[in-house]
Amino acid sequence: MGDSKKAATNDIFSKAYNFTKADEVKAMGLYPYFKPLEATDGTIVEIEGHEVIMAGSNNYLGLTNDQRTIKAAQDALTKYGTGCTGSRYLNGTLDIHLELEEKLAKFLGKESCVLFSTGYQTNEGSIQTIAARNDLIFSDRDNHACIVVGTLVSNAKTIRYQHNDMDQLRKMLEKADPAAGKIIITDGVFSMSGTLAKIPELVALAKEFDARLYLDDAHAVGVIGDGGRGSASVFGLTDQVDLISGTFSKSFASLGGFLVGERPVIEFIRHHSPAHIFSASMPPANVATVLKALEILQEEPWRVKRLEEISLYMRTELNNLGFNVWTSESPIIPVVIGDMMKCFQFWKDLFEEGVYTNAVIPPAVPQGQSLLRTSYMASHTDDHLNQILEAFRKIGLKHGLIDNNGHSAE
pLDDT digits (tens, 9 = 90+) for 33-45: 999 999 999 999 9
pLDDT at 99 over 70: yes
pLDDT at 1 over 60: no
Share of the chain above pLDDT 70, in %: 98
Question: C-alpha distances in angstroms, 372 versus 37, 53, 193, 337, 369?
Answer: 19, 15, 11, 7, 10
At 5, is the pLDDT very low, low, confident or very high (cuts 50, 70, 90)?
Answer: low
Give CATH 3.90.1150.10 domain extents, the chain. 15-64+301-398
**Residue 2: predicted pLDDT:** 46
- Best CATH choice for the domain 15-64+301-398 from the list 3.40.50.2300, 2.40.10.10, 3.90.1150.10, 3.40.630.40: 3.90.1150.10
Domain 67-299: give its CATH code: 3.40.640.10
Average pLDDT, the chain: 96
18-50: b (≥16 Cβ within 10 Å) or e? eeeeeeebeeeebbbeeeeeeeeebbebebeee
* Mean pLDDT across 174-197: 97
* Mean pLDDT across 294-317: 98
DSSP label at residue 252 = T
C-alpha to C-alpha distance for 227 and 301, rounded to whole angstroms? 6
Give CATH 3.40.640.10 domain extents, the chain. 67-299
CB 125 within 8 A of CB 275: yes
Question: C-alpha distances in angstroms, 280 versus 75, 121, 149?
Answer: 21, 12, 20
Is the pTM higher than 0.85? The answer reads yes
Catalytic residue numbers read 191, 219, 250
C-alpha to C-alpha distance for 252 and 175, rounded to whole angstroms? 41
C-alpha to C-alpha distance for 269 and 263, rounded to whole angstroms? 10
